[in-house]
Amino acid sequence: MSNFTEVPTFEGPQCPLPLTHAERIVLGHGSGGRMTHDLIRTVFRAYLGNPYLNAGNDFARLPLPLQGQEVGHLAVSTDTHVISPLFFPGGDIGRLAVCGTVNDISMSGAIPLYLTAGFVLEEGLSLEVLERIVRSMQSAAEEAGVTLVAGDTKVVEKGKGDGVFINTTGIGWIPPDRSPLGGERAQPGDVVLLSGPIGDHGIAVLSARGELGFEAEVQSDVAPLNHLIQALLQAAPHTHVLRDPTRGGLATTLNEIAQQSQVAIRIDEATIPIRPVVRAACEMLGLDPLYIANEGKVVAIVPPGEAEAALAAMRQAPYGAESVRIGYVENQPTGRVILRTILGTHHILDILSGEMLPRIC
Amino acid sequence: MQLWQEFRNAELVHRVAEEIRRLVTRPWVLMEICGGQTHAILQYGLDQLLPGEIELVHGPGCPVCVTPLELIDKAIAIASLPNTILCSYGDMLRVPGSQRDLFGVRAAGGRVQVVYSPLDAVRIAQENPDKEVVFFAIGFETTAPPNAMSLLQAKALGLKNYSLLVSQVRVPPAMHAILSAPTNRVQGFLLAGHVCTIMGYWEYDPIAARYHVPMTVTGFEPVDLMQGILRTVKQLEEGRVSVENAYSRAVTREGNRAAQEIIDQVFEPCDRNWRGIGLIPMSGWGLRAEWADFDAEKRFDLGAIRTQESPLCIAGQILQGIKKPYECPAFGTQCTPLAPLGAPMVSSEGACAAYYRYGHSRP
């Protein structure tokens, strides 16, 4: 069954009821998968919806209230960071809070400029720990070239927080000559690029938590990607989509894009880089690296004519040395991601339903 | 080169597929017992490499799927008690009980802890001497040794706050049930490699002989699965009936004697209800009388549990290989991994979840 059109597809209407967890929030609502999407659709968008929010990107692309001159657009994004443990191989919550928002802003094609930070601190947190986190934020901000311009602090009673929660909001500038980017802009024929090995962050955090039952020698990939993105956009100015495969991993990100753009995305399993240690950890726990979080990777969907230049530029840029081409965009079946397995067979790569749970045996 | 990569070698898989194609002269229905194998088959698209004559039907070997509703309701009741910690394999948390699931209990404030091994539950009991810690001991022959071991360890440590909620089932009685049903279509079996690693495969000889059905002990990687299919088809085509071992790197005829002894110290055979199938005589294990103190069902007064299954779910027919998931009217509509009506849509080893996840619809 090598013919693409013969790939089995499942096209059933999605019944909105009964939702098992319609009454209370469960952890699966925060997984970045289908439950998160449903929550956004049924609660947040239902009440707060507007064209900017409804675009469904990690950033909002906003017009400036100025007329008669070409000034470009604003890009705004916000992200709240909760992670246990606060420090993990390759990073910490501070670096994560800065990079996460810098990256979300960068996915609009904007040059990130300013950040704000809101801290929720738990009573009893050691000041030394807080200082380490803030120092790390400073160094990540410096690396990204952004300035932290406003902040806020709240303290909650012991037991009502997990040490530190950090919210960061970022503002960036999209130059007027830049063509708009967004998850809805992928087109048949486009090439799908990935900036390096997947799964490092998720496995590094699991390992730091002691949840693997063994220690995996792997560092989180948490990094600011704005310099890589600027280099990529210079080489491939007509890039259609940029998105960082964070929660829910590469599979979820590709599904989001396929659905937003109403296209099919076909990827080749053999081309997706995964470090042996990440693969081994996933094998042992029954996890799928395609669904594991990354914090320093980008998926770029570019027109075929600019793909080679884009790839070359990415490989030259910081955090992009291991960039690869992993697939392409097609017309049909719309909204679907199809994986060509290492055996040459094909299957649908679905979006994660809720929390990813380790297998029994 | 990692070991598993050799067993995912595309060239080898295609070569075996070619051999199967050459061998087959007429239609055969094979059943893989184990849910892990079902998922591997769909994940690698192995069914796409087989000739049209070979139909794979999926067996009841998903421990999450066959755990009876009554026990899930009991687990939910225990987790809802004050001062208890229910420890469970992660897969069980999303399985719907009559009213709710364990995720819901956790969101409502109950202590439900996901563990990777029952020995983690023993450690939790040690660290929380003022709490009752219950491990939800579900599974086939594969989970029985560690579950039994956790009791031996708890006893050695003198723990009084640790107990098991047992729903331990065995493969051979389920095969009897499938093969003796008038609706049976299965002509050959792929035996679950992990189960045979523990138990060996001697106990399948009488089943193969009685029902005249060939079997092959099969592993979980693409090459293993294709080999298992090849050797079963070869037996069928040649009119032979025996139990062959295509997973000899892990399985011996006798199995793991040490593990069997540990099972025997703690468990004894008993009747078990299988979700969606019903009571199968002597199809599981329960705690021996001398371990009654560690039996959560005896330790907690849970009152009368009244169960209610979804009338739409056809899990029983799916688990016996009579119907395919897409033949269920609720599949993908009223029943999805997010809002499952039955366990096979929940577990990472459930056939319905596998069909949904890998986009398998009616051919």
Q: How many domains does chain B have?
A: 2
DSSP-derived secondary structure for A264-324:
EEEEEGGGS---HHHHHHHHHHT--GGGS--SS--EEEE-HHHHHHHHHHHHHSTT-TT-E
User: pTM of the prediction?
Assistant: 0.82
Both B331 and B196 in one domain: the answer is no
Prediction ipTM score: 0.76
pLDDT(A15) > 60: no
Same structural domain, B100 and B89: yes
| A26/B114 CB distance under 8 A | no
Distance from CA of A21 to the nearest CA of B (A): 7
Measured CA to CA, the distance from residue B31 to residue A344 in angstroms comes to: 24
Q: Which residues pair with B218 in a beta bridge?
A: B192
Same-domain check for residues B323 and B306: no
Mutate which of B114, B224, B357, B360 to test chain A, going by most A C-beta atoms within 10 A?
B357
Distance of alpha carbon A258 from alpha carbon B228, whole angstroms: 37
Whether residue B323 sits in one domain with residue B183: no
* Beta-ladder partners of B160: none
Q: Is B236 helix (H, G, I), strand (E, B) or coil?
A: helix
Same domain, B201 and B101: yes
E-assigned strand segments in B248-300: 267-274, 278-287
Conformational region of residue A258, where left means phi above 0, alpha means psi within -120 to 50, and beta covers everything else: alpha
Judge whether B17 lies within some domain: yes
pLDDT digits (tens, 9 = 90+) for A233-285: 999 999 999 999 998 899 999 999 999 999 999 999 999 999 999 998 888 87
* Phi, psi values for residue B344, rounded to 5°: -65, -15
Strands A111-122 and A164-174: antiparallel
CB contact under 8 A, B333 and A11: no
Residues B186 and B322 in one domain: no
Distance from CA of B108 to the nearest CA of A (A): 8
Residue B179 lies in a domain: yes
Is B363 within a domain? no
- Which residues face A165 on adjacent strands? A120
DSSP B108: T
For residue B13, which residues of chain A lie inside 8 Å, CB to CB? Answer: 343
Dmax (CA) for chain B in angstroms is 66
Say how far apart CA B315 and CA B337 lie, in whole Å.
14
SS3 label, residue B344 = helix
Chain A residues with CB inside 8 Å of B4's CB?
A: 283
CATH number at residue B158: 3.40.50.11740
Residues A303-335 as b or e (16 or more Cβ within 10 Å = b):
beebbeebbebbbebebbeebbbbbbbbeebeb
Longest dimension (CA), chain A: 66
Which member of B8, B222, B359 has the closest CB to residue A347? B359
Q: Which of A289, A292, A299 is nearest to A323 (CA)?
A: A299
CA angle B127, B128, B129 (to 5 degrees): 105
Give the model's pLDDT for residue A21: 55
Chain A: nearest CA to B240, how far in angstroms? 31
Q: Tell me, yes or no, whether B72 lies in a domain.
A: yes
Residues B301, B323: one domain?
A: no
- Residue A100's H or E segment, with its range, is helix A93-106
Contact between A26 and B336 using a beta-carbon 8 Å cutoff: no
Find out whether A200 and A90 touch, Cβ atoms under 8 Å: yes
Q: What is the pLDDT of residues A327-359, one digit of tens each?
A: 999 999 999 999 999 999 999 998 866 555 554
Q: Which domains does chain A have, with CATH numbers?
A: 1-361 (3.90.650.10)
**Residue B322: domain span:** 315-357
Beta carbons of B90 and A357 less than 8 Å apart? yes
Q: Which residue of A has its CA nearest to B17?
A: A343
Q: Which residues of A touch B117 (CB under 8 A)?
A: 213
Hey, is the C-beta of B15 within 8 angstroms of any chain A C-beta? no
Same domain, B64 and B122: yes
B359–A359: do the CB atoms touch at under 8 Å?
no
- Please state, in angstroms and rounded to a whole number, the distance separating the CA atoms of residues B143 and B123: 18
Q: Which of B1, B3, B48 to mutate to test the interface with A (most CBs of A within 10 A)?
A: B48
Q: Are residues B281 and B336 in the same domain?
A: no
Answer yes or no: is B214 within a domain.
yes
More confident residue, A19 or A107: A107
Amino acid in the structure at residue B351: A
CA–CA gap between residue A269 and residue A327 (Å, rounded): 9
Residue B23 buriedness (CB in 10 A; 0-12 / 13-18 / 19+): middle
In whole angstroms, give the CA distance from residue B246 to residue A82.
Answer: 47
Phi/psi at A79 (5° precision): -155, 135
Chain B neighbors of A341, CB-CB under 8 A: 43-45
Closest CA to B116 of A210, A220, A276: A210
DSSP A135-193: HHHHHHHHHHT-EEEEEEEEEE-TTSSSSEEEEEEEEEEE-TTSPP--TT---TT-EEE
For residue A342, which residues of chain B lie inside 8 Å, CB to CB?
8, 10, 44
Q: Quick one: B18 and B64 in the same domain?
A: yes
The encoded tokens of residue A222 equal 């948490």
- Nearest-CA distance B147 → chain A (Å): 12
Helices A226-235 and A304-316, packing angle to 10 deg: 140
Which positions ≥6 away from A159 have C-beta within 8 Å? A122
Q: Which helix H or strand E contains A231, and what residues bound it?
A: helix A226-235
CA–CA separation, A80 vs A171, rounded Å?
A: 15
In a domain, B209, yes or no: yes
Of A19, A276, A359, nearest to B339 by CB-CB distance is A19
Q: Are residues B299 and B205 in the same domain?
A: yes
How many CB atoms within 10 Å of residue B323?
A: 18
- Among A19, A286, A345, the residue with its CB nearest the CB of B44 is A345
pLDDT tens for chain B, residues 1 to 363: 466 678 899 999 999 999 999 999 999 999 999 988 998 999 899 999 999 999 999 888 888 888 888 899 999 999 999 999 999 988 788 788 888 888 889 888 899 998 888 999 999 999 999 999 999 999 999 999 999 999 999 999 999 999 999 999 999 999 999 999 888 999 999 999 999 999 999 999 999 999 999 999 999 999 999 999 999 999 999 999 999 999 999 999 999 999 999 999 999 999 998 887 788 999 999 999 999 999 999 999 887 777 777 777 888 788 778 888 888 888 888 888 777 887 788 766 788 888 888 877 665
